């Protein structure tokens, strides 16, 4: 059973702080990792994806991947109230060399307080 | 360019009734997906279509059927609705199966009484 685990939160941070969102996954063979943002009542939208160990930065967002620990995280610097949303971690597991579909975690709700 | 559109936005059904959720994309994508999202359960894949003419089961296919009508359209049918199918349904599309960016529609909220 392929699993993606996230702390459901809510995670509350003050405006301007760094928000750290974490995700663990069950399959060492996983190759691709994604972070989606979902505002209340809206559909998910992709923020970032990462394939290789280490950090990947895009503006205020940094994705971090540690395949040995089966751990992926999303850091949001200078958090803004507009970042308040649920953040979904998704993993693509490979099956016998072919690419599988995305498996989503249950999401972490982030609240940024002014 | 509307992206991914879904109809209806909201629907109330009685147990045992049937209905079809419609999804269309105008991005010329090959792959399309149907997910359901329940509180505390995250997004779960119901069915997907890797390309026109093919459909496959996802994680939770029981009680559903799908049709890939053409490259643009992918419908989800509930033959005999049950209260357990109360959920928010999202359609998504991507250029290739499992591709980095899946574009989601606005969702359909379904309540089965």
Q: What is the pLDDT of residues A8-49, one digit of tens each?
A: 889 999 999 999 999 999 887 778 899 999 999 999 999 999
- CB spacing of A104 vs B40 below 8 angstroms: no
Contact indicator for A26, A36 with CB cutoff of 8 Å: no
Taking the C-alpha atoms of residue A4 and residue A9, their distance in angstroms, rounded to an integer, is 15
Give phi and psi for B84, each to the nearest 5. -65, -10
The residue ranges of DSSP E strands in B39-104, in sequence order, are 42-49, 56-57, 64-68, 74-78, 87-94, 103-104
Is there a contact between B98 and A102 if contact means CB atoms under 8 Å apart?
A: yes
Cα distances from B26 to residues A29, A62, B51, B94, in angstroms, run 34, 31, 15, 11
Q: What is the pLDDT of residue B63?
A: 96
CB contact under 8 A, A101 and B42: no
Give pLDDT tens digits for A50-95.
988 999 999 999 999 999 999 999 999 999 999 999 999 999 876 6
Rounded Cα–Cα distance for residues B97 and A92 (Å): 11
Distance CA B97, CA A99 (A): 8
Q: What per-residue confidence (pLDDT) applies to B99?
A: 67
B45 and A42 within 8 Å at the Cβ level: the answer is: no
What lies within 8 Å, CB to CB, of B62 at 6+ separation is none
Check CB contact under 8 Å for A32 and B41: no
**Which residue of chain B has the CA closest to A87?**
B42
> pLDDT means per 10 residues in chain B (113 residues)?
93 97 96 93 91 91 96 97 97 80 94 97
Chain A CB contacts of B51 under 8 Å are none
Cβ–Cβ of B48/A43 closer than 8 Å?
no
Does residue B8 have a cis bond before it (omega within 30 degrees)? Answer: yes
pLDDT band at A99 (very low <50, low <70, confident <90, very high): low
Cβ distance of B45 and A45 shorter than 8 Å? no
Separation CA A30–CA B67 (nearest Å): 30
Query: Nearest CA of chain B to the CA of A113: how many Å?
Result: 23
| Chain B residue with Cα closest to A90 | B43
Residues from chain B that touch A8, judged by Cβ atoms under 8 A, are 40
Measured between CA atoms, how close is B107 to chain A, in angstroms?
A: 7
CA distance A13 to B85: 35
Give how far A68 is from chain B: nearest CA, Å: 22
Interatomic CA distance for residues A49 and A114, integer angstroms: 28
Selecting from A88, A92, A99 the residue whose C-beta is nearest the C-beta of B42 gives A88
């Amino acid at each position: 059973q392929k699993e993606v685990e996230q702390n459901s939160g809510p995670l509350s941070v003050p405006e301007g702080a760094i928000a750290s969102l974490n995700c663990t996954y069950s399959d060492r063979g996983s190759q691709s990792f994604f972070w989606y943002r979902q505002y209340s009542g809206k559909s998910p939208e992709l923020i970032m994806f990462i394939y290789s160990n280490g950090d990947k930065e895009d503006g205020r967002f940094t994705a971090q991947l540690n395949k040995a620990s089966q751990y992926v995280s999303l850091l949001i610097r200078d958090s803004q109230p507009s970042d308040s949303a649920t953040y979904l971690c998704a993993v693509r597991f490979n099956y016998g060399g072919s690419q599988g579909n995305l498996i989503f975690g249950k999401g972490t709700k982030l609240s940024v307080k002014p | 360019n509307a992206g991914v559109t879904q109809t209806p936005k909201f629907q109330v059904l009685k147990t045992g009734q049937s209905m079809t959720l419609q999804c269309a994309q105008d991005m010329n994508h090959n792959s399309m997906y149907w997910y359901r999202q329940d509180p505390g359960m995250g997004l779960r894949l119901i069915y997907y279509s890797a390309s026109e003419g093919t459909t496959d089961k996802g994680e939770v296919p029981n009680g559903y059927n799908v049709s890939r009508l053409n490259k643009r359209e992918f419908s989800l049918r509930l033959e005999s609705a049950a209260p357990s199918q109360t959920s928010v349904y999202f359609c998504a599309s991507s250029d290739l199966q499992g591709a980095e960016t899946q574009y989601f529609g606005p969702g359909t909220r379904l309540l089965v009484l």
